[in-house]
Amino acid sequence: MARKHFGTDGIRGEVGRSPITPDFMLRLGHAVGRVLRQATNRPVVLIGKDTRISGYMIESSLEAGLASAGVDTLLTGPLPTPGVAYLTRALRLDLGIVISASHNPFQDNGVKFFSARGEKLPDEWELAVERAIDEPPRWVDAASLGRARRIDDARGRYVEFCKSTIGNDLTLRGLKLVVDAAHGAAYHVAPDVFHELGAEVSTIGCAPDGLNINQGCGATSPQALVDAVRQRGADYGVALDGDADRLQIADQDGRLYNGDELLYAMVIDRLDQGQQVAGVVGTLMTNLAVEQALRARDVELVRAKVGDRYVLEELNSRGWLLGGEGSGHLLALDKHTTGDGIVSALQVLQAVGRNGGRLADLLNGLQLFPQEMINVRVADQRDWRKNTRLVREAESVEAELAGSGRVLIRASGTEPVLRVMVEARDRDVARVQAQRLAEAATTG
């Protein structure tokens, strides 16, 4: 059965267009409830959301649908995605639901789910829900309807959890931080976490109005953070995205560190502490310089498909702990079951504190290769290997780079676009070779 509604990270789209409509969310809640009741007589579900104005509409629709199937709900209000995952596990609940479109603008919204263990659910579960959506509803009687109540201390519980993920001896006293929550779910969480650990905290992107999430701030628009760190004379800036599972960090010199660099810092810290790192999972986009630097420390890098879901699957299959993407989705599975921007920031700041220097010092010797990406619109991007000229040119470029770069060609999963990427030590080489491949993609 092909999935009709679920994508790689739940269900997402523009508000007011199917499936992000109140009638569909009512049906979705009912279908989820019916699937849950196949395993548990009286399931309890946690619902959290980010700060989009549409979250109220979706929350009430899901709540009604779940209640109609005999499922109780606990409502947290605005809470980061990883906070919902944590509370679902900590409260021994049956399911966690997050209403968010992550780094997308406020016009979009979506729904994603976490298991009782705080982990992403398998494809089989999503397919079962899709089948239930298409079936006629089976309303429970009035005495069996689900109940709903709000959890007043959800924010405080999650703040304490974040703080617990680093050593008890770590203090951020003496550090001046700027925290940018993208006007999203962490606006009332992240500043308190860093402040309670001793940092002097100032904020941007912490005044949501329902319409400004991810607007010119946060991990996907980090220039605002870079500017604020410089203007305020801060040591570091921490940028999250709308649901706070993505991270970027800026330093006082205006240097911005992406997920590849931050993942490397986490690995190096553990190695320097004498801990064993069996391997690390990146993605097809992980910078080649990181792979080579890890290899020099006898740490294997395995590449998964793009998407934190696939990184998590690969980590679990290998029993490894650390992985992530250049976009800032980072995983430390001995700290949390899912990617968490706040927890990842604490891991990096802990590494810097142990190192006794600055983040730039910890990453000394790691020089990321320039990456040139060109999106080529083609009729059928899925069968690009039938383009013999493109295949031949790609092989030729790989040979010319001779280990000092690489080629990645992949089809977009959402639009008729072929993504052509060349990575090389020299930026001009990367640009010229990427243009060469893009031309072959359109003329082959």
Single-letter amino acid code for the residue at 307: G
CA proximity to 325, closest of 293, 303, 294, 351: 303
According to DSSP, residue 121 is labeled P
Other CB atoms closer than 10 Å to residue 302's CB: what's the count? 18
Tokens 């290997």 locate to 385
Do residues 250 and 225 touch, judged by C-beta distance below 8 A? Answer: yes
Tokens 């790689």 found at:
8
Annotated catalytic residue within 100, 102, 115, 327: 102
Structure tokens at 272: 């320097």
Beta-strand ranges (E) seen in 213-351 are 236-240, 247-251, 256-257, 279-283, 300-304, 322-324, 330-332
102 part of the active site: yes
Q: Is 125 left (phi over 0), alpha (psi -120 to 50) or beta?
A: alpha
> Taking Cα atoms as reference points, which of 183, 240, 23, 213 lies closest to residue 108?
213
For residue 120 the two structure tokens come to: 């992403």
Strands 330-332 and 322-324 turn out to be antiparallel
Nearest of 97, 77, 118, 89 to residue 33 by alpha carbon: 97
Q: CB-side exposure of 107: number of CA atoms within 13 Å?
A: 2
Q: What angle do CA 347, 351, 357 make, to 5 degrees?
A: 145
For 334, list phi and psi in degrees, rounded to 5: -85, 0
The residues assigned a catalytic role are 102
